[in-house]
Structure 1
Amino acid sequence: MKDLFYYQDSMIKEFKADVVRTGVEEDDRPYFVLSNTAFYPTGGGQPHDTGYINDIRVTDVEKVENEIRHYVEGDVPSSLNGIVTGKLDWDRRFDHMQQHCGQHILSATFVELFDFATVSFHLGSEIVTIDLNTEHVTDEQLALVEKRANEIIIENRTIETKWVIKDELSQYPLRKDVTVDEDIRLVIIPDYDYNGCGGTHPTSTGQVSLLKIMGTEKMKKNTRVSFVCGNRVLKQLDMRKRVLSEVARNLSVPEEEAAGALQKVMKDAKATEKALGEAQDALLVYEARDLATNSENNVAAASFVNRSVQTLQKLGRAIVSENNNLIALLVSENDGKLQFVASKGTNVVFSMKEVSSKVLPLINGKGGGNESTVQGGGEKILSAESLLAEMKNIVS
Structure 2
Amino acid sequence: MKDLLYYQDAYICQFDASVTTSGQDEYGAYVVLSNTAFYPTGGGQPHDIGTLNGVAVTNVEKVDDEVRHYVTSTVTGDVHGEIDWTRRFDFMQQHAGQHILTAAFVELFDLPTVSFHLGSDTVTIDIAADSISAEQLAMVEARANDIIIENRPITTTWVTRDELSQYPLRKDIAVDDDDIRLVIIPDYDYNGCGGTHPTATGQVQMIKVLFVEKMKKQSRVHFVCGKRVFNALHMRKHVLSDVARQLSVPEEEAATALQKVMTAAKKAEKQLQDAQDTLLEQQAAQLATQTIVAHAFTNYSMQQLQKVARTITTINPDAQAFIASQNDDKLQFVAARGANIERSMKDISAAVLPTINGKGGGSDQFVQGGCEPTITADELVQLMANA
Name the TM-score, length of structure 2 as normaliser.
0.96
Matched residue, 1:386: 379
Q: CA, structure 1 residues 198+336, in 2 after alignment: closer, same or farther (shift >3 Å)? A: closer
Matches within 5 A, 1:186-265: 186-265=182-261
Q: CA, structure 1 residues 381+159, in 2 after alignment: closer, same or farther (shift >3 Å)? A: closer
Aligned-pair CA distance for 1:27: 4.3
Matched residue, 2:14: 14
Question: Runs of at least 4 residues of structure 1 off by over 4 A?
Answer: none
Work out whether 1:75 is the aligned partner of 2:74.
yes
Aligned-pair CA distance for 1:90: 0.8
SS at match of 1:17: strand
Aligned-pair CA distance for 1:148: 0.3
Matches within 5 A, 1:120-135: 120-135=115-130
What residue ranges of structure 1 are gaps of 5+ in the alignment?
none
Work out whether 1:318 is the aligned partner of 2:311.
yes
Pick from 287, 296, 302: which aligns with 1:303? 296
Cα distance in 2 for residues equivalent to 1:167 and 1:56: 43
Aligned-pair CA distance for 1:265: 1.3
SS at match of 1:203: coil
Matched residue, 1:362: 355
CA contact (8 A) 1:48 1:60 kept: yes
Cα distance in 1 for residues equivalent to 2:377 and 2:263: 39
Pick from 141, 147, 152: which aligns with 1:146? 141
Cα deviation code 1:213-250 (max 9, x no counterpart): 11111111111111110011001111111111111122
Work out whether 1:269 is the aligned partner of 2:265.
yes
Matched residue, 1:173: 168
Matched residue, 2:324: 331
Q: CA, structure 1 residues 136+98, in 2 after alignment: closer, same or farther (shift >3 Å)? A: same
Percent of aligned pairs with the same residue? Answer: 61
Cα deviation code 1:295-318 (max 9, x no counterpart): 2xx212211222222111111122
SS at match of 1:142: helix
What residue ranges of structure 2 are gaps of 5+ in the alignment?
none
Which amino acid letter does the alignment assign opposite residue 300 of structure 2?
R
CA contact (8 A) 1:324 1:347 kept: yes
CA contact (8 A) 1:328 1:344 kept: yes
CA contact (8 A) 1:146 1:211 kept: yes
CA contact (8 A) 1:153 1:209 kept: yes
Root-mean-square deviation (CA, aligned residues, Å) is 1.5
CA contact (8 A) 2:287 2:312 kept: yes
CA contact (8 A) 1:362 1:381 kept: no
Name the TM-score, length of structure 1 as normaliser.
0.94
Q: CA, structure 1 residues 384+18, in 2 after alignment: closer, same or farther (shift >3 Å)? A: closer
Cα distance in 2 for residues equivalent to 1:86 and 1:393: 78
CA contact (8 A) 1:32 1:69 kept: yes
CA contact (8 A) 2:313 2:320 kept: yes
Cα deviation code 1:4-32 (max 9, x no counterpart): 111111112212223323x2314482222
Aligned-pair CA distance for 1:336: 4.1
Matched residue, 1:53: 52
Matched residue, 1:340: 333
Which amino acid letter does the alignment assign opposite residue 247 of structure 1?
V
Q: CA, structure 1 residues 124+28, in 2 after alignment: closer, same or farther (shift >3 Å)? A: closer
SS at match of 2:202: helix
How many residues are treated as equivalent by the alignment?
386
